[in-house]
Amino acid sequence: GYHADRWKKMLIQYSSPTTAYFYTSDKDPFCMYNYLLDITTWNKSIRRGFIKVKIMDYAGNTVESQMNSEASTFQQYKRVKILTGFHRDIGKIAKISLTFSTKTLIGPTQKLRILQMKLKSLNNPER
């Protein structure tokens, strides 16, 4: 990572679009722990929607991610990477649960079948 006052100079040297992740403070109101959710779905038809992630440690403490503002598209056997953030850090994760939502009030509910999932801490990549 780079300090906030030097990030632009570092990114300008890249000719292709670049994604930048900024660390935040460990105190409110700017506390955020970022994770990369990498999933491969198994549904035969295309699904569009939002995923909320909840993680729990071995002591039973839970934290829930914020819902992404943009819907993701899920196709059969295609990997999708989603940046998700939590307001508290969980040390050793015991359980991960996902909630899929289309945010529509009418129509049938849809399920998202997950073939493979990885959750990687961007603040602590060794975990």
CATH classification at residue 36: 2.60.60.20
pLDDT band at 16 (very low <50, low <70, confident <90, very high): low
Within a domain: 10: no
Spatial neighbors of 76 by CB under 8 A, at least 6 apart, are: 41, 42, 43, 44, 45
Q: CA-to-CA distance for 24 and 71, rounded, in angstroms? A: 24
Q: Which amino acid is at 98?
A: L
Q: Distance between alpha carbon 45 and the CA centroid of its chain, in Å? A: 23
Tell me: pLDDT of 87 over 70: yes
Total tally of structural domains belonging to the chain: 1
Q: Is residue 117 part of a domain?
A: yes
**Separation CA 105–CA 124 (nearest Å):** 38
Task: Give pLDDT tens digits for 30-42.
Answer: 677 888 999 999 8
101: in domain: yes
Name the percent of the chain lying above pLDDT 90.
20
Predicted structure pTM score: 0.69
Q: Confidence class of residue 95 from pLDDT cuts 50, 70 and 90?
A: very high
